[in-house]
């Protein structure tokens, strides 16, 4: 008898708790929203998420523990506009969107291409740089293509891309299947290593990546696509921050700051 009572009691408490959790918040007046930009300024730090393995956009030098890259400089510009400093959160590329929507980071600066799928979840800034995609092979390779769908030929022509990128989506849009027609790598440097080692015959990457690695490996571009826009990302609920981001980008182009950065990092 006691046990039945205990079990019924537990169920009632659980149900009661759920009901309370469901209804009570609507009874309270909505708390005044604190814009993240105010939090940033009172805190003095701007939390930016990135995946620091993608030179020349973002990289981390272990010998002096600093972040370097095109995106790093752009983020510094935005932070300066707000009068704060950047605190970097260096994580997996795939996890960045989740972290931003969850509020753990304020902005994503990780050479993340604009596309509708991402735009559904986060707000994109205006394009801050455009890059093309290129198919690169080793200097010793005799491979030649005239269009991207030439890559669909035969599985023994192994292609590599970085996971979660637009390049992967492009190949899949052509009907290619990961693991069958192409292989994904979590990091650009692993991709380059695989190309150099012969595990793959060709890599399909952002063109600036080729620029960054062309001194390390003997590679050449055999094909490049139309340029695509990169954006910085934040939450839709933070229009003030988005405004500042866009302002810095536009003014940066107007007074030539961003062009200088492009030459510094990509030239």
Where on the chain is the footprint of other proteins (CB under 8 A)? 3, 6-7, 10, 43, 45, 47, 49, 52-53, 59-63, 65, 87, 89-92, 94-95, 98-99, 101-106, 187, 189-190, 192-193, 216
Instruction: Report the relative pairing of strands 133-138 and 202-206 from DSSP bridges.
Output: antiparallel
Output helix, strand, coil percentages for the chain, rounded to the nearest 5: 45, 25, 30
Nearest-approach distance from CB 66 to other proteins, in angstroms: 11
Residues 231, 126: contact at Cβ < 8 Å?
Answer: yes
Helix (H) or strand (E) holding 201: none
Which CB, 194 or 262, lies closer to other proteins? 194
DSSP E strand stretches across 72-218 = 85-90, 107-113, 123-124, 129-131, 133-138, 159-162, 182-185, 202-206
Q: How far is the CB of 78 from other proteins (least distance, A)?
A: 17
Query: Taking the complex as a whole, how short is the minimal distance between the CB of residue 168 and other proteins, in angstroms?
Result: 18
- Give, as one character, the DSSP assignment of residue 53: E
Distance CA 4, CA 103 (A): 44
Cα end-to-end span (Å), the chain: 81
244, 78 Cβ separation under 8 angstroms? yes
Q: How many residues does the chain have?
A: 267
Cβ proximity to other proteins, 192 vs 245, nearer residue: 192
We find the least distance from the C-beta atom of residue 49 to other proteins, in angstroms, to be 7
Is 161 or 191 the residue whose CB approaches other proteins more closely?
191
Rg for the chain, CA atoms, rounded: 23
> Are residues 223 and 151 in contact, defined by beta-carbon separation less than 8 angstroms?
no
Minimum CB–partner distance for residue 39 and other proteins (Å): 8
Pick between residue 55 and residue 252 the one whose CB is nearest to other proteins: 55
Residue 67 or 204 with smaller CB distance to other proteins: 67
Q: Which is nearer to other proteins, 174 or 193 (CB)?
A: 193
Closer residue to other proteins (CB): 148 or 235: 235
CB of 90 to other proteins, least distance (A): 6
User: What are the start-end ranges of the E strands in the chain?
Assistant: 45-50, 53-54, 58-61, 66-68, 85-90, 107-113, 123-124, 129-131, 133-138, 159-162, 182-185, 202-206, 219-224, 228-234
Smallest distance, other proteins to C-beta of residue 62, A: 5
Cβ closest to other proteins, residue 63 vs residue 146: 63
- Give the DSSP per-residue string, 86-108: EEEEE--GGGHHHHHHHTS-SEE
CB of 254 to other proteins, least distance (A): 32
């Amino acid at each position: 008898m006691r046990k039945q009572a205990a079990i019924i009691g537990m169920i009632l408490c659980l149900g009661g708790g759920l009901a309370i959790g469901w209804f009570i918040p609507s009874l309270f007046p909505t708390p005044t929203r604190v814009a993240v930009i105010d939090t940033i300024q009172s805190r003095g730090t701007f939390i930016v998420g990135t995946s620091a393995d993608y030179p020349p956009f973002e990289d981390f030098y272990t010998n002096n523990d600093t972040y370097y890259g095109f995106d790093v400089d752009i983020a510094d510009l935005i932070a300066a506009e707000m009068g704060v400093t950047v605190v970097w959160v260096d994580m997996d590329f795939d996890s960045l969107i989740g972290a931003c929507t969850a509020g753990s980071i304020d902005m994503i600066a990780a050479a993340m291409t604009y596309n509708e799928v991402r735009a559904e979840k986060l707000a994109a800034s205006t394009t801050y740089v455009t890059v093309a995609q290129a198919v690169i092979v080793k200097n010793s390779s005799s491979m030649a293509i005239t269009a991207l769908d030439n890559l669909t030929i035969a599985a023994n022509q192994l292609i590599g891309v970085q996971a979660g990128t637009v390049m992967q989506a492009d190949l899949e849009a052509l009907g290619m299947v990961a693991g069958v027609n192409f292989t994904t790598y979590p990091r650009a440097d692993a991709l380059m290593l695989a190309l150099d080692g012969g595990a793959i015959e060709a890599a399909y990457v952002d063109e600036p990546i080729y620029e960054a690695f062309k001194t390390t490996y003997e590679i050449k571009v055999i094909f490049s696509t139309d340029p695509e826009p990169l954006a910085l990302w934040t939450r839709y609920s933070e229009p003030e921050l988005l405004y500042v981001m866009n302002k810095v980008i536009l003014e940066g182009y107007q007074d030539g700051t961003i062009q200088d950065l492009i030459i510094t990092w990509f030239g």
